[in-house]
Amino acid sequence: MESPSKPKVTWAEAFRDIALRMIDKGQWAAFLLGMIVLVVVFRLDSDELVALVRELLMWTVVPWVLLGLCIMGWYFHVRFVDHTTKGENRRLGTEKTMLQERLAAMQRDLEALHQETPHQPPTEPTEL
């Protein structure tokens, strides 16, 4: 029996959450590329697939090294961008807090000044 406190998550909501997380982490492009490769592989006939696998196995080591370097470069680039944006967000948060504290102090000073000054009712205009 399912407890009433746990909401049921549908497959669409789960996919949405995973996709948003991949976009946040910079992995969406690699995911799409992988999905395209999977679709192409599944659409191939068995003879074409065997020929493709044989051709891939005949490659030299250079393309694999280049692929590895590209993946490592992408990984470190994502980490660098993540680190840079975290630092910038921290800096902006500190600056925002400082400005909010200054604004709160100015509002307190203004309220204190308003309370010190007695409110005088408007006077009737005098005729000249």
Whole-number Å distance between alpha carbons of 121 and 124: 9
- The pLDDT of residue 93 is 94
- The pLDDT of residue 22 is 87
User: Which parts of the chain have pLDDT scores under 50?
Assistant: 1
Whole-number Å distance between alpha carbons of 40 and 88: 41
Scanning 26-60, the segments in alpha helix (DSSP H) are: 28-43, 46-57
Q: Where are the domains of the chain?
A: 9-58, 60-115
- pTM recorded for the entire structure: 0.37
Q: What is the pLDDT of residues 30-59, one digit of tens each?
A: 888 888 988 988 898 888 888 877 777 776
- The pLDDT of residue 74 is 92
- The pLDDT of residue 84 is 86
Which contiguous run of DSSP H or E holds residue 4? none
- The pLDDT of residue 6 is 75
- Closest of 22, 21, 48 to residue 34, by C-alpha: 22
Please state the separation of Cα 38 from the chain's center in Å.
Answer: 26
- The pLDDT of residue 62 is 67
